[in-house]
Structure 1
Amino acid sequence: MALTQVRCPDCNGLNVVKYGKQPNGEQRYSCQDPRCERTIFLLNYRNQPTVASPSARTRIIELALDGADAMEISETLGLPEEEVIRVFQQLSRLTAPPVGVRSRNRRAATKIAAG
């Protein structure tokens, strides 16, 4: 069994201990050097693509309008399916219901109209 020395990515120190695991099973570490500002880190940190970029949101909308579902879009763009669904939910809050669609709560709609 080969042992690997784990160094802190900030201070490059060896005073590092295991500090639990991520939900995906990846090991977390904690730097114990009091001068180091970093406390917890991952050994093989990978940036996850995010939907925060406007270009990713635009691409999600384009693919959805072409008929792709959330799973197809996530596979195409390499994004987590949950992120694609989150964009769908955000968009649904911003768009008005189609013309001719009745409100689920007629009394509330009537009160507002009479208001």
Structure 2
Amino acid sequence: MVLEPIHCPDCHSIDVVKHGRSAAGKQRYRCRNSECSRRSFILNFSYRGRLKEVKQQISDLALNGCGIRDTARVLRISTSTVIETLKKSHSTLSK
């Protein structure tokens, strides 16, 4: 039996403990590093729209002039996910 340490996606600390389950039944973890900006996270999302790489691709496609429906079709996610991601990225840029 081999135990692999789980790393926090933000601070890459291995000081991580189990923290219950999500509504979809996925294992949730909690980072115990006090300086980490992310407290709770899930390693394997069941929906692609939650991945950090997909959110970055949404922003990149929007900057290149792709429409919302086109972006959703290419990335195989919903249009509402694209809209919400763009709203959130716009609000963080304006601060």
TM-score between both structures, scaled by the size of structure 2: 0.49
Larger Rg: 1
TM-score between both structures, scaled by the size of structure 1: 0.42
